[in-house]
Structures are given as C-alpha cells and as structure tokens.
C-alpha cells in the first residue's frame, strides 16, 4: 500500500463515526466523573495520559503487535493470554464486547480474516478481545504495524475524550485541548517500538478500581 493509501486507511479507522463499538465504553471514566476525580480539562488530561501511557502502551499495544504478525491459531493463544491477564471482570467483558463489535463490522464488510476469526470466537476457541481484533483488522486492511499502533492509540484516546464530553465532564474544546496537549507525548511513546517478547504490564489502579466499582452503579450511561 502506498503512503497515501496508508494515511487514508488510518483516517478511516480513526474516524469517530467508524462503527468500532468503542462508544459504549468509558474504561472506568464514568465512575471517576461520578466520584469527582474528573471535573475539568486538567483532571481529564491526567487520566487520559495515565490510560495511554501506563495501560494501552505497555499492555494493549503488546497484544496488538503480537496479533498483527501471527495467524489465526496464534491469535487464539494470544486472545486467551489476554483474558487471563486482565483481573477485572468488567474490563474483560468490555474488551470482548468491543472486539466482537469490530469483528462484526468487518465481517459484514466481507473481510475474510474477520469472518474466520469471528467464527472461532463463537465456537469458544477465542474471546475476541479488542487489541487482538485491532491487530487482525489493521493487518488485513494493509496497514503497517506503526500505522496500526497509531490508529489504535488515537481511537482509544479519542473514545475517552468523547465519553467525557457525553457525560458533561468537559466540553468539546477541553477535549481537543487535552488531545492536543498530549499529542507529542503519544508520539514519543509510539516512536519507541515494543518487542514481541516484551511482557505486557499495566499500572492504572485508580482506573481499574473505577471499572470494578462501575458494576455497582444504579444508573450507567456506559457499559464500563
């Protein structure tokens, strides 16, 4: 694929209107807003940086990279490892639901890789976690790995920003201000490649606790 084709595909996948399934999840942000941890652009920026730097970059990104370069059998094994590595049941369920939503979209777009892997998930051989599906879909779409990682990073960040807007915690300008402020930070993370043998790790205890407590809420806008 040409550089321009890579860019256009990246833009397509990063578009907030793309039916990826991420709009239903806040990764604990809804609970953080309810508990008063996120009240403005500054507090949201801190949570967003934590989510990308200390979770996505060191955990989800590793699984995405592994999924990107393997076959269906390898993805099933990676998928099972991801399931066993996430201690919060709500986070596991949310990742599966988002991954299945993305698989469903690409299956309906007649992508053979997505169709085959969706069948494996429905047969119980895999779970369909979102980072594994990201690796599959982006590889099938013809992106190179750095571009695929960029797409996943940005969609994760923008999904959190959109969730904060929908909850009324921040306005659209504050959301764009946070994304702009952190853009170079994200670029620096992406410029450092992850190794396929790197052990996945994450340290976001505040967000993890928020996700675990989210299931106890009487009224919820988001699934997580």
pLDDT for the residue 215 = 65
Residue 97 to residue 27: CA distance in whole angstroms: 13
> Is residue 118 situated within a structural domain?
yes
Instruction: Evaluate if pTM is beyond 0.85.
Output: yes
Per-residue pLDDT at 213 exceeds 90: no
Mean pLDDT, residues 146-157 = 94
Angle, helices 130-140/89-108, rounded to nearest 10 degrees: 20
Whether the per-residue pLDDT at 216 is higher than 70: the answer is: no
Backbone angles phi, psi at 75, to 5 degrees: -65, -40
Number of structural domains (the chain) is 1
C-alpha 32/C-alpha 39 separation (Å) is: 9
Identify the CA nearest to 102 among candidates 15, 20, 223, 23. Answer: 20
Residue 7 lies in a domain: no
Does position 15 have pLDDT exceeding 70, yes or no?
A: yes
Q: Domain range holding 90?
A: 22-214
The verdict on residue 13 lying in a domain is: no
């Amino acid at each position: 694929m040409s550089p321009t084709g890579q860019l256009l595909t990246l833009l397509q996948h990063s578009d907030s209107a793309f039916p990826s399934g991420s709009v239903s999840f806040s990764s604990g942000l809804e609970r953080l807003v309810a508990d008063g941890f996120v009240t403005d652009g500054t507090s949201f920026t801190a949570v967003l940086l934590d989510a990308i730097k200390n979770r996505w970059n060191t955990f989800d990104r590793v699984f995405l990279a592994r999924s990107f370069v393997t076959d269906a059998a390898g993805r099933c094994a990676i998928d099972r490892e991801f399931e066993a590595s996430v201690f919060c049941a709500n986070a596991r369920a949310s990742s599966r639901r988002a991954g299945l939503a993305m698989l469903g979209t690409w299956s309906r777009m007649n992508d053979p890789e997505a169709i085959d892997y969706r069948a494996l998930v429905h047969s119980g051989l895999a779970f369909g976690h979102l980072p594994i599906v990201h690796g599959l879909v982006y590889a099938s779409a013809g992106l190179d790995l750095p571009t695929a990682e960029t797409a996943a990073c940005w969609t994760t960040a923008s999904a959190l920003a959109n969730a904060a807007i929908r909850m009324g915690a921040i306005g659209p300008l504050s959301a764009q201000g946070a994304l702009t402020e952190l853009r170079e930070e994200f670029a620096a993370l992406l410029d450092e490649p992850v190794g396929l043998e790197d052990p996945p790790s994450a340290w976001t205890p505040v967000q993890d606790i928020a996700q675990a407590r989210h299931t106890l809420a009487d009224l919820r806008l988001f699934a997580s």
